[in-house]
Amino acid sequence: MQMLWDQFSDNALFINGLTLLVAAFFGTIILFLSKQEFMQEAWRRLRQNTSTMICLGIIGVYVAIAFADSVVIPIKDGVAIRNYTLIDLAFKNSPEEEGYSAPFAKQTYKLRGAKPVVGVHLLGTNVLGKDVLRETLKASRTAIIVGGLTCMIAIPIGLVLGILAGFFGGWVDDAVQYTYSVVYSIPEILLLVALLLVLGPGLPQLCLALGAATWVNLCRQIRAETIKHRDRDYVLAARSLGVPTTQIIFRHILPNVMHIVVIMFTLRFSSLILSESILSYIGIGVGVDTASWGQMINGARTELAREPIVWWVFLSASGALFVLVLAFNVFGDAVRDALDPKLRTR
C-alpha cells in the first residue's frame, strides 16, 4: 500500500485525475440536489440575499485557489522533472529570501547584516524566506480539503446509519444509538487529540479523526428525521402498493432528509476549518510538510514579541482563516434559514 502510494504520488496524471475525480464527485452531488424542487426553491430564496451571494463568491474564490493548487504541471527543472501547481507557477518569479522581510520591503529583516530583497513580496516573507502570500494560498487548499474530505467521510456514515436506525428500529436502532452515545460521551477535543496521537499527524488522518467526531451529530438528526417520515401517510401508501423497502428508502426517505445533510455540511464546515487550525497549531494536525494556517500562526506566535515586531505572518494567516470561516458562517446561516421548514413560517 505504502509502496503503491509512493509510486503514484509523484505522477502528475494521477494527481490531476484524483483532483478531477473529487471535483466530479462534488459536481454530481450538486447536480443531484439541484434537480429537486425543494432545493430549487431554497436556491431562489438564497439568491435574493446579496450578502449571502457575496459569501458564496468568497467561498468560490477559496475553492478556486484550492483547485489551482491541486492541478499540477510537470516541468523540466534542470535534469529532474518536477511537478508545479498553478500557484507554484504564479510565484515562480519571486525567489526565496534570506529570512524575514516586511511586505514590499527592500531589505530583509535584520538589525545588522540585512540582505537586499530580490523579488517583490506582497505579504513579505517568513523566517525561512518563503513568500507568505504563497504559503497562505497553499494553506487554503489544506483547509478546503479538510472540510471536504471530512464531510466525504462523515456524511455517508451518518446518513446510512441514521436512516437504517430510524427506518428499521428494533435492535438496529439500539446498536446505532449505543455506538453514537459512546462516541458522543467522549469530549470532542479529547477524542480528536487521542485519535490524532494514535494515528499520527497527516492530512488523511486528520480528516479521519474529524470525521469520527462529526458523524455522531449528523446521525442523530438523520435518525430523528427518518422516524418522523417513516410513519407518514405517503410512506404507508408506498408500502401498501408493494414498493420494495430499498426503493422506499431511496425514493422517499433519502430526498426528505437531504436538507439536514446540506445544513449540517455548510454549518459544520467552518468549525472543521477552525478545528484544523487549532490541531495544527498544537502540532498534531497536518504534518510539517503541509501548509496550514494553524502552523503559520504557531510559527508567528513568538515573533510578535520581537522589536520591531513581525506582524505579517500572523495577520495574513489569521486573516485568511477569518474571512473563509466568516463567509461559511454567514452562508451556512442563510442555507439553514432557506431549508429549515420550521424557521420558514416565522
Partner 1 sequence: MLLYIVRRVLYTLPIIFGVMLLTFILFFTVASPENIAKRQLGKNPTPELVQNWLHNHGYDKPQLLNLPFDAKYDPKQPWYYSQFTSHMQATLLFQFGISDTTGEDIGTRLAQGALPSALITLPAFVATLLITVSLSLGIAFYRGSYLDWGGTFICIVLMSAPIMGYIIAGQWLLGLVLRYFPVFGFASGFDSLRFVLLPVLIGVIVALGDSVRFYRTIMLDEIGQDYTRTARAKGLSEQIVLFKHVLKNALIPILTKVVADLPLLILGSLLLENFFGIPGLGNLTIVAITELDFSLLRALVFLGSILYIIGLLLTDISYTLVDPRVRLD
> 494560498: which residue's cell?
137
The yes or no reply on residue 30 touching partner 1 (CB under 8 A) is no
The yes or no reply on residue 294 touching partner 1 (CB under 8 A) is yes
Out of 270, 290, 292, 295, the only residue in the binding site for partner 1 (CB under 8 A) is 270
- Are 266 and 46 contacting, i.e. CB atoms less than 8 angstroms apart? no
172 residue type, one letter: V
The least CB distance from residue 137 to partner 1, in Å, is 18
227 residue type, one letter: I
The radius of gyration computed from the CA coordinates of the chain, to the nearest angstrom, equals 23
Out of 15, 164, 321, 338, the only residue in the binding site for partner 1 (CB under 8 A) is 321
Rounded distance, CA 166 to CA 161, Å?
8
Out of 175, 182, 236, 288, the only residue in the binding site for partner 1 (CB under 8 A) is 182
Q: From the DSSP assignment, how many helices (H) and strands (E) are in the chain?
A: 15, 2
C-beta of 117 vs 210, nearer to partner 1:
210
The yes or no reply on residue 116 touching partner 1 (CB under 8 A) is no
Rounded distance, CA 90 to CA 68, Å?
10
The yes or no reply on residue 325 touching partner 1 (CB under 8 A) is yes
The yes or no reply on residue 181 touching partner 1 (CB under 8 A) is yes
**All residues at 6 or more sequence positions from 106 whose CB lies less than 8 Å from its CB, including other chains:** 116, 117
The yes or no reply on residue 187 touching partner 1 (CB under 8 A) is yes
C-beta of 85 vs 298, nearer to partner 1:
298
**All residues at 6 or more sequence positions from 48 whose CB lies less than 8 Å from its CB, including other chains:** none
Rounded distance, CA 152 to CA 148, Å?
6
Across 150-178, b (16+ Cβ under 10 Å) vs e yields bbebbbebbbebbbbbbbeeeeebeebee
Out of 123, 213, 274, 338, the only residue in the binding site for partner 1 (CB under 8 A) is 274
The yes or no reply on residue 183 touching partner 1 (CB under 8 A) is yes
Among 18-26, 78-86, 111-119, 277-285, the segment contacting partner 1 (CB under 8 A): 277-285
Rounded distance, CA 164 to CA 177, Å?
11
Q: How far is CA 181 from the centre of its chain?
A: 25
C-beta of 36 vs 221, nearer to partner 1:
221
> Between vectors from CA 55 to CA 27 and to CA 338, what angle results, nearest 5°?
75
Q: Residue 202 corresponds to which cell in the numbers above?
A: 497527516
C-beta of 200 vs 242, nearer to partner 1:
200
C-beta of 253 vs 321, nearer to partner 1:
321
The least CB distance from residue 329 to partner 1, in Å, is 5
The least CB distance from residue 90 to partner 1, in Å, is 27
The yes or no reply on residue 46 touching partner 1 (CB under 8 A) is no
C-beta of 98 vs 333, nearer to partner 1:
333
Out of 330, 334, 338, 339, the only residue in the binding site for partner 1 (CB under 8 A) is 330
CB atoms within 10 A of CB 345: 5
Q: Residue 228 corresponds to which cell in the numbers above?
A: 418522523
Out of 191, 235, 248, 286, the only residue in the binding site for partner 1 (CB under 8 A) is 191
The yes or no reply on residue 190 touching partner 1 (CB under 8 A) is yes
Phi, psi for 75 (deg, rounded to 5): -130, 140
Out of 93, 185, 240, 246, the only residue in the binding site for partner 1 (CB under 8 A) is 185
* First-to-final CA distance of the chain: 54
Question: How many residues sit close enough to partner 1 to count as binding (CB under 8 A)?
Answer: 42
Q: Return residues touching partner 1 (CB under 8 A).
A: 178-179, 181-183, 185-187, 189-191, 193-195, 197-199, 270, 274, 277-278, 281-284, 293-294, 297-298, 301, 304-305, 314, 318, 321-322, 325-326, 329-330, 333, 346
